[in-house]
Structure 1
């Protein structure tokens, strides 16, 4: 438990904060996955970069962050570049996905970008207004709590939709081979232990 010098957050506030932030992570990851499914990586990356604009807007409302000329310049340029993709798409990109799937990918990617911006602003709000302290222990507790919630939601979604039945086929069809897949999974699972 995080101890502070002032008013400690109630027992209900911490789990509800972890739940809210974890659900934001899980929802954002789902939307990003759908967006990446229907969009080329270059298009996805440009659209997802609009996260900066969403972060600035949400930080303005949640954390009273001021808009500086640098923030405005970055947000306008990145948002304008992603908006141009709506009106002009490359012929190779259009051939890979129909216009309907392209639109779904675009909307999901913008939603994921907005979710990521809201997550960052909400995390800052959580530290400033709820915990009123930012220590290594507080940061680790937040990361573990929200990641646990996001992982549980993702696993429940995997089993609820029946997607888990196709995992063995995906393991067999992994283009780089079983050894590479094993190394990827092992390194992904071991990464949190290095921190």
Structure 2
């Protein structure tokens, strides 16, 4: 049978437990936050600039180690772990206003770019898929274009310099991208989107990008 003394000691025992365990709890939370910041994260798609590949409301898993490991909670890159490739979907901050964006790496250093009516050619080769005028092939990636708003501004005779990438939206006529804010330094790419893990109307799933 529980006594009054036992009941009165419960809050004290709980407080002693909390005091003893609090440092470990705080450390665990800090480590989890650091891992999320430096190794894996997610991104909520707020606009239609990447349709039809990404839709408004999609939640995307992002590999934060794809291009480099950063000091947690900072923009300081500790080591480089890879280079962006044409067709990657990457997360970065807009050079224009610092807004976190998600766009496609359309061209990398040394590439010669032409973009006419929303359709991309790199090094003289059109990326348009045969028989699918609204699809572009980037080796291991497919861009499902949305040209319902037109193609947006054209690009003529651009050669991407070392250390830079050209970022474009797949909805070419509905995207504020590299045609407006310029090229993006490779070191400014936070991570590579690897999969859609949640989509409205479908729920949780895993669609690789």
TM-score class, shorter-chain normalisation, is under 0.3
Which structure has the larger Rg? 2
Kindly indicate whether structure 1 or structure 2 has the higher relative contact order, using CA contacts under 8 Å at least 6 residues apart: 1
If the length of structure 1 is used for normalisation, what is the TM-score?
0.21
Looking at secondary structure, tell me which structure has more strand per residue: 2
